[in-house]
Structure 1
């Protein structure tokens, strides 16, 4: 697998803004703000360079998103709804925005796994698979653009012929 191009800094649609905490070629951390409301911290990591690199068949442009400082499921849904289009705009070749949910009852999932999964689903993510990594059991939620999930229903036609 070839190394991905540097992950560009995502820009957020009004009324959201992002303040960079740290950034590198493989991603970084941003404080995401909405006018007059709480802030959340969002971490972006190219999956091929992060903890998920061996967890599933990773594409070079897949991006893992982690959200911290969330108090409610509605806050998580709102943050994910603005993050996904920002990632897709920053990297149009991104096939999967992956949101991992800690599924082994850890205190690292303050809303609880089921509430977190429901909040991600409300933001357009779908459950794909459970994976084990060195320090956690994760349920991977994925948001994919239409061009990835499009299906050719003409089953009698072989593409390219």
Structure 2
């Protein structure tokens, strides 16, 4: 199984289904896509209960101190529905949040989940939040409001993708070490 665009030499990842060992185009071993999902710890305002947890997928109940109950699903992008949607990294995680009754609750819950993931799995390059472009959302919350709520939580819009059963807008939250840029053009790394 190969991930990534073939034109990007060195960025494609081959995964042996029998061993779940990932190798890039140069044959170097990457992190296994079967690594266990990180167990998340939340701040005092949030409590969580793991409903199901495996190597590549987890479901938890997230409760806010004010009484808001949400469901959160985490899935390794390399093993889930987004595996062929973009050049996925083995530690990328997709987050799905259900039960948010308002954009404020969605923003707060996404922010809490991102903080917990960054603390639990520092190798995670991208936390992906996918918004269905067909506009089928619960309640009066529309697609653009959901995107704005995710952006308020630190996500940024990246691209629209077509899957076999859905058309999605992908938003990502990336840790600082991924987005930092050294603007000193006279500085040579390693010197």
Deviation at 1:111, TM superposition (A): 1.8
TM-score, with structure 1 as normaliser = 0.93
Task: Provide the residue aligned with 1:113 in structure 2.
Answer: 143
Corresponding position: 1:99 with 2:129 = yes
* Match 2:172 to one of 135, 142, 148: 142
Tell me if the contact between 1:81 and 1:124 (Cα under 8 Å) persists in the aligned partners. yes
Deviation at 1:93, TM superposition (A): 0.2
Distance (whole Å) between structure 2 residues aligned to residue 135 and residue 109 of structure 1: 22
In angstroms, what is the RMSD of aligned CA positions? Answer: 1.7
Corresponding position: 1:86 with 2:119 = no
Computing the radius of gyration over CA atoms, which structure comes out larger, 1 or 2?
2
C-alpha distance after superposition, 1:7-34 (max 9, x if no partner): 1211111121101111101121000001
Task: Provide the residue aligned with 1:130 in structure 2.
Answer: 160
Q: Moved runs in structure 1, 4+ residues, more than 6 A?
A: none
- Describe the shift of the 1:110–1:141 C-alpha distance in structure 2 as closer, same or farther (beyond 3 A): farther
C-alpha distance after superposition, 1:87-110 (max 9, x if no partner): 111111001110001112234686
SS of structure 2 residue aligned to 1:88: helix
Tell me if the contact between 2:37 and 2:53 (Cα under 8 Å) persists in the aligned partners. no
SS of structure 2 residue aligned to 1:154: coil
Tell me if the contact between 1:44 and 1:64 (Cα under 8 Å) persists in the aligned partners. yes
Task: Provide the residue aligned with 2:60 in structure 1.
Answer: 30
Tell me if the contact between 1:101 and 1:109 (Cα under 8 Å) persists in the aligned partners. no
- For structure 1, which runs of at least 5 residues remain unmatched after alignment? none
Distance (whole Å) between structure 1 residues aligned to residue 137 and residue 175 of structure 2: 31
Task: Provide the residue aligned with 1:15 in structure 2.
Answer: 45
C-alpha distance after superposition, 1:81-139 (max 9, x if no partner): 10001111111100111000111223468621100000001101100111011111111
Relative contact order higher in (CA < 8 Å, ≥ 6 apart): 1
Corresponding position: 1:51 with 2:64 = no
Deviation at 1:159, TM superposition (A): 3.6
- For structure 2, which runs of at least 5 residues remain unmatched after alignment? 1-12, 14-21, 23-31
Distance (whole Å) between structure 2 residues aligned to residue 108 and residue 15 of structure 1: 25
